[in-house]
Structure 1
Amino acid sequence: MTTKRKIDFYFSFISLYTYIGYEAFEALVKKYDLEVTYKPIDLHAIFSVSGGLPVSKRPPQRQAYRFVEMQRWAITRNIPLVLKPKHHPSDPVIGHRMLIAAMAQNLDVQEFIRNALKILWVDDLDIKDSKVMVEVANKSGLDGEQLLKDSTSPAIDAEVNRLTAEAVERQVFGTPFFFYRDEPFWGQDRLDLLEEAIRSNRDPIPFKVIS
């Protein structure tokens, strides 16, 4: 029996570029029948240890260019996109905890991830509102109220922290961040490079931080 090729996928529900690239990533997963391990992380904690800056703290010229890029990628990917969400920045931890609770029960989380990534960038709603998250889970075929209850357990809290600590250990510095055979790929605009590595079955390029 052929073993499925595996991808570790680090992301956040507030991540603009995770949303922008998610449909393309799903298509890649389907095309190559990949096994994905979903790893929601605290993006701001990642920034704090890797030198990244939240959007509001970036230089004006970078903020202006980001706004242009948002529009270009929305056209390129043919997806809807709210350019200035009312509730950004926000805290996605409720959704992350609900996702981890669902995965712990081996539930199908595909639709939930897809819909949760749209909360800020399409629906223009507040991702830190538990009622919003319950409704998104329900819309995704899950029991939102039960997942919200399940997500408050100490085990879920520990897993939230563990995933972010793991990302720091693996030198993740932004989202989306993919690992294929331990080779890193940062950003939805590296999906073509990720596909090349999968298709060619070449040896992975080692990832070692220069000290």
Structure 2
Amino acid sequence: MANIDYYLGTISPYCYLAANRLEELAARHGAKVNYKPVDLLQLFSRTGGTPPADRHPSRLEYRAQELTRWAEVLQMPFHLKPAFWPVNAAPSSYAVIAAQKADPTNTGALVQGFLKAVWAEQRDISDDQVIREILSANGYDPQLADTGLLVGAETYERNLEQAVEDGAFGAPFYVVRESGQRFWGQDRLDLLDRHLGNL
């Protein structure tokens, strides 16, 4: 069975656009997905990237066009400038980490729940009540928002270190543990699918 380490940001528009396609292809190939939320701003800083706010206007304009195009192609509701972005991604990341530890069977839906809240529903996923509601809506105990803080914080930091070691520099970023092959971006999922079929 292949293991896919999925480095993600709970406020990343490209992770949102990935939707549930990773889970679908993992199921087809009998692969296991390990969800690893990371602090994307720190990851950019550690690997030579530039935060969106500091990018050249031409890059920002292209990003806006690209996100809108992909949302149309994938037929996903999308707000280019959501009401609550950027926000502190740590609390929602801690919740994902705690939920995966409690029951990994629905982590993908939970991750997408947070992403959809930002980019489609314009909700503030740094708000404790919103986090509890999203946990509950995806079958998790809403108290994980509180009880998972310590473990979440420690794992969040470890995820960043592992992401750097694995060669990740953005999100979504997929690493197939058995082969060491890396795939960056929701538009590389077809290549990941093909690779898993050849293992």
**1:165 alignment partner AA:** E
Deviation of 1:33 after TM superposition, in Å, equals 2.4
For 1:132 and 1:172, locate their aligned partners in 2 and report how far apart those are by CA, in whole Å: 29
Q: Going by fraction, where is helix more abundant, 1 or 2? A: 2
> For the Cα contact (< 8 Å) 1:98–1:150, is it kept in 2?
no
The residue number in structure 1 matching 2:123 is: 125
Q: Does 1:167 align with 2:168?
A: no
Match of 1:7 among 4, 7, 11: 4
TM-score, L = length of structure 1: 0.88
| Consecutive aligned runs of 4 or more in structure 1 exceeding 3 Å deviation | none
For 2:131 and 2:66, locate their aligned partners in 1 and report how far apart those are by CA, in whole Å: 28
Q: Does 1:95 align with 2:92?
A: yes
Deviation of 1:45 after TM superposition, in Å, equals 0.5
SS in 2 for 1:173: coil
Query: Greater Rg, structure 1 or structure 2?
Result: 1
Deviation of 1:107 after TM superposition, in Å, equals 4.7
In structure 2, stretches of 5+ residues that fail to align are none
Match of 1:148 among 145, 148, 151: 145
> For the Cα contact (< 8 Å) 2:87–2:126, is it kept in 1?
yes
The residue number in structure 1 matching 2:175 is: 179
Match of 1:81 among 78, 97, 100: 78
Q: Does 1:49 align with 2:49?
A: no
SS in 1 for 2:5: strand
Equivalent pairs counted in the alignment come to 196
For 2:152 and 2:112, locate their aligned partners in 1 and report how far apart those are by CA, in whole Å: 21
In structure 1, stretches of 5+ residues that fail to align are 202-211
